[in-house]
Structure 1
């Protein structure tokens, strides 16, 4: 075992940690579904609730890469509808997380993934292709996005459902999602530090050493997205999310 900033990690633990960092970088620059694989791996390594705080700074670092590259593609008309309710969802999830133990927390994470996946497939398969651009829909998705991002950083499928429903083009989808998650993830930091106490100096130091893997994943994600057609990209998101949901069940 290796002692890394008070964490006792085996060599295989470190390999999986850096693999998760690579996947986070890829997920934030467009290969969204692969980021869901991080949730079960980190939960197994560090526990459900602790892993949520450990992953958050890694997500923010990857968000910065995504915003830098895709910022000009963001659609702010959708973002301004989402942010107020997303902030409310974060606050509600903070209280929720204080009431349950780690095992129940992990089960809740898995249920959120499967429910979101079902909604994504239903949305893509239904014959009615009208865009549900209603305030109540944005408020619902924003609240769910804020809640799920606090409960295990699991807002990816929920927000994918919303942005897919809005029929955003590939780059606009990635740019809008990048700004949404950067701002919401920064908003979550004080709750993790002062309420859940899942972000500490040692956990952040561990995050910093993963930065090269995050950067590599970000550039790899940009490279792959350029080579995926628009229609195929939509089903790619759904497919990779499905694989991640199965991985969580196992």
Structure 2
């Protein structure tokens, strides 16, 4: 699921997050998930690195770093159920905005304020719950990026931000250790298989259909959050 998501089949990571949380708890599972995400990010960047839009990335990185630091600071005290409820509402409203823009054939203004809000939310949500995929999908779709540019830009964003998160997981939350890394190594072959399966599937999807795939999977991801908040 992680490999597929990083290769462009958006939303599948959100199906794996609750599975790990059931086994290891919310905070513990985030430390197990992070090296899996980084491994998939590396392969996604290797394949899509030429397609990234660095103008958008340079707008997103600084506020995302702030969001990660906020998430580290507040992550131990935030109520998981309330956080998930808020995320579900935000994603539903964001998809509604995307659908409205789709009907009007217009885009959200490409301004710094929108990038700052998205970056902070993306950094915070990826640190607290590995839920930033939908946040970034809303931003990148609103910018009307082509399929490969969408995937390449997202791949670079998450590789950089996920690497930035590692010291916080190791030294502050202490959720990454030799035992968790052994579990990640077991998953590595399947992560790689998922990435290249996703790359193959994305090639079969047209630009227009891919855009709607991301919108639908973002809605599915938001709906999947609802049972976790009850």
Could you say which TM-score interval applies, normalised by the shorter chain? over 0.9
Partner of 1:236: 213
Matches within 5 A, 1:88-107: 88-100=66-78, 104-107=79-82
Matches within 5 A, 1:92-241: 92-100=70-78, 104-126=79-101, 127=104, 129-241=106-218
- Work out the CA distance in 2 between the residues paired with 1:203 and 1:106: 25
Cα deviation, residue 40, structure 1? 1.7
Alignment gaps of 5+ in structure 2: none
Q: Deviations over 1:60-119 (max 9, x none)?
A: 00000100000000000100011000000000010111224xxx2254135314422330
- Work out the CA distance in 1 between the residues paired with 2:100 and 2:90: 16
Q: Which runs of 4+ in 1 moved over 6 A?
A: none
Q: Secondary structure of 1:31's partner?
A: coil
Cα deviation, residue 54, structure 1? 0.9
Partner of 1:7: none
Q: Deviations over 1:164-210 (max 9, x none)?
A: 01110000000000000000000000001111111111001110110
- Work out the CA distance in 2 between the residues paired with 1:98 and 1:58: 22
Moved more, 200-209 or 106-115: 106-115
Moved more, 198-207 or 41-50: 41-50
Mapped contact 1:28–1:63 kept (Cα < 8 A): yes
- Work out the CA distance in 1 between the residues paired with 2:17 and 2:85: 9
Q: Secondary structure of 2:8's partner?
A: coil
Alignment gaps of 5+ in structure 1: 1-22
